[in-house]
Amino acid sequence: MEVVEIRVTESVLEANFGNEAQIEYVPYGRLCRSPLNVRKKASTGIEALAGTIVGNGLMQNLVVHPVKGSRAKQPKLGVCAGQRRLAALDLLFSQGKITKDFKVPVLIVSDGEAVAASLIENRERETMHIADECGAFRLLTEEGKSIAHISALFKVSEMVVRRALRIANLSPVLLDLLRDDKLDYEQAKVLALADDHATQERVWTDAQTPWLRRPAELRAALTKAELDASENPLAKFVGLDAYEAAGGFVRRDLFSDDQNAGYIADADLLHRLATDRLIELSQAVAAEGWCFVETRTRCDQAELFQYDRIASTSRKPTKAEKAELAKLVATRDEAKAALDAYYADQDSGEDEALWEKLDNALNDASAAVDAYTERFETFAADDMKQAGAFVAIDEDGKVQITRGLRCREINDADAGSIAHFTHAQRNRDLPTKAKPLHGEKLCKRLTAHRTAAVQIELAQQPTVALAVLMYRMIPAVFNDVYGQSYIDHAVRIDVHTSRDALVSNADDMADSAAWKALEVERAKWSRMLPKRTDELLAWLLQQDVDVMSNLFAFCVAATVDSISPLDRAHPVNEVANTLELDLTRYWKPTRAGYFEHVPKDRIVTVVGETVSPQAAGELRGMKKGDAAAAAELRMTDSGWLPEVLRNREVPEHVTYGHWEDDGESNADSTQDECNDGDAEEAEVA
């Protein structure tokens, strides 16, 4: 047998735990695979590594530990770090290229250091499978290592270690599926919500189809009898810590960054805790001197509508209180600026956790500013003896206190006017105004006559009416031209252009045929329009019908906004259906526009349904990026549209309230009052 001479080259110690141990050389025959090696998945590229060892020698040492129970004069040494190199040596021995006496450089460590050495070595080299890494963390804890120790040893957060230990708690059957890539990490995270192996395996086994094995469906199966603490208002109000302190069980979701992530098993206990806390809060409100105080675990505007509001006054804030308000406003403005900066950062990808954090910060800051005026609202003592307050929990889990409610009789006309009550409730916080020269009723009467006169004159001159409307719309649509100007308009209309939203929500918008055509039109009109705002109305009045009509159509189109976070019925579909819009002319299934943003399984399914099962089979063996590129080649001209673009459903048209023909004028009158109230609010603001 010909034995090849292999050079052994010393290198820098590859695993050092702070000791002064030196590299030793031991016979290859003493080496064996260690049961403490954390890598369970078979290594790859062994033949190439063996060839490298033959040509260049063994460049790096192995890390070994004495194997317990060995009866030989010289005990076996288990390789806990260097599994691929050991496999390469095994191959060379089987080929007769080395003997059992071949000297191998090793670093001998204790059993307690073996798992950590294996994990460190594997994490630094060939990417380790997540199942093996999580199992290694569990072995370290079983050896007595604390989570803090493991966190410091591998320079990861303690949460990363806790999440790994949760994955390691999966049943051996599921861990094997994860190791063999028959169970993905997202599915494993959901199954890890269950603590017992039997439940984990039952939920997985019961889900017989790929659709039922989606993470959302698995989560629903595990938590169908529980409350989602991140969404439930009572859970937000009570808090998970208080709920658990009272003996309640929470199925924690360690893989969510939400502080309230988890599922509540005892809904009755949660409701009781919320009620007890509401009663405590109501006692403080009752001490203010109200005739009655009611508590509710949810806000019900319909119930509040049964009450009138007694008059209140607002005192002026002190200098210190004004300073406090300025701080609240500054905090709100900073939160808004941070959220706007996130939207404007088109170079970075979407970060849902960051967006939620910024959005919550803005909502909290805005709520603090809105609640400011409530501190200064006061009621007359005699009126308070005839009225009361409601203490309730809103949808965000926050306490809403509505004071100054007095019972009243409800007639048929009032029954359909909940919106009017809500509007009146909103207006109660407006600051006290100086007594005007004319009373409110008289001003409404006079300005109503003025409005009617303008309307009839305008209705008889269509060109002027069209120009007035466009005069209101164009500065909003062409804000890059007129953005520095301010005009107080006679026409009351909310106009906004969705141009920026299109680009910020679709980074491939510049390649769209529809976008290119819109930008051509926009550039054409920008060149024709006057550069000064004060010249715009006169310019519009000089244009012919064709110019006015086409510019009007472009401005209206620029205000259409159908961007939605959900696949659901949308009002824009009514317009699309009227136009008989064919979206396949404007959208193609490309890698950048679709396939990069969905899982590989979805890519395979779409190609299988649209092209052929054979084409889908070709994609299964590819990596995600290659599968996305291949799908684009097969699908670009297929005419396929994702479900959200195929959905042409229009929301149901709902009319609130109902009245007889002779009552229509009363309904119109009510709406006019609401509109007048809105105008007042805008004027004060």
Q: Is 111 exposed, middle or buried (0-12, 13-18, 19+ CB in 10 A)?
A: middle
Total count of residues recorded for the chain: 685
439 pLDDT band, cuts 50/70/90, is low
Q: How far apart, in whole angstroms, are the C-alpha atoms of residue 80 and residue 59?
A: 17
Structure token pair of residue 625: 């990026």
Domain end call among 148, 165, 196? 196
Please check whether residue 423 lies inside any domain of the structure. Answer: yes
- Residue 56: inside a domain, yes or no? yes
Burial string for 529-558 (b: 16+ CB within 10 Å, else e) reads beeebeebbeebeebeeeebeebbebbeeb
Q: Helices marked H in 388-542 — which ranges?
A: 412-415, 418-427, 440-459, 462-477, 479-482, 499-505, 513-528, 536-541
| Residue 402, beta-bridge partner list | 390
- Rounded to an integer, what distance in angstroms lies between the CA atom of residue 315 and that of residue 302? 30
Per-residue model confidence as pLDDT tens digits over 611-639: 888 888 888 888 888 888 889 888 888 88
Residues 479 and 375 in one domain: no
Residue 147 lies in a domain: yes
Does residue 505 sit in the same domain as residue 595?
A: no
Percent of the chain with pLDDT over 70: 74
Q: Reduced to 3 states, what is the DSSP secondary structure of residue 170?
A: coil
Higher pLDDT, 17 or 328: 328
Residues 477, 404 share a domain: no
Q: What is the mean pLDDT of residues 386-408?
A: 85
Within this chain, do residues 391 and 294 fall inside the same structural domain, yes or no?
yes
Residue range 312-368, pLDDT digits in tens: 777 778 888 888 888 888 998 898 888 888 777 755 556 777 887 888 888 888 878
Kindly report the average pLDDT of the chain as a whole number. 75
* pLDDT bucket at 257, cuts 50 / 70 / 90: low
pTM of the model: 0.38
Most confident option among 497-501, 668-672, 681-685: 497-501
Residue 171 inside a domain? The answer is: yes
Rounded to an integer, what distance in angstroms lies between the CA atom of residue 136 and that of residue 175? 13
Specify if 474 maps to a domain: yes
Host domain of residue 57: 24-196
pLDDT band at 297 (very low <50, low <70, confident <90, very high): confident
Least trusted range by pLDDT, from 36-40, 289-293, 681-685: 681-685
**Residue ending a domain, choose from 168, 196, 224:** 196
CA-CA distance, 310 to 17, in Å (whole number)?
75
167 shares its domain with 101: yes
Greater model confidence, 457 or 12: 457
422 and 484 in a single domain? The answer is: no
**Domain match, 551 and 599 both:** no
Task: pLDDT band for 11, please (50, 70, 90 cuts).
Answer: very low
Could you report the per-residue pLDDT of 522-547, keeping only the tens digit for each? Answer: 888 888 898 888 888 888 888 888 88
- Whether residue 173 is found in the same domain as residue 33: yes
**What SS3 class is residue 210?**
coil
Cβ neighbours for 335, distance < 8 A, ≥ 6 positions apart: 358, 361, 362, 364, 365, 366
Please check whether residue 602 lies inside any domain of the structure: yes
Phi-psi region of 505 (alpha: psi -120 to 50; beta: other; left: phi over 0): alpha
Let me know whether 400 and 322 are in one domain.
yes
Residue 486 sits in the same domain as residue 602: no
Using the 3D structure, point to which of 407, 427, 447 is the last residue of a domain: 427
Q: Residues 374, 410: one domain?
A: yes
- Report if residue 501 sits inside a domain: yes
CATH number of the domain bearing residue 110: 1.10.10.2830
What total number of domains does the chain contain?
4
Residues 364, 324, single domain; the answer is yes
In this prediction, residue 438 carries a pLDDT of 62
635 belongs to a structural domain: yes
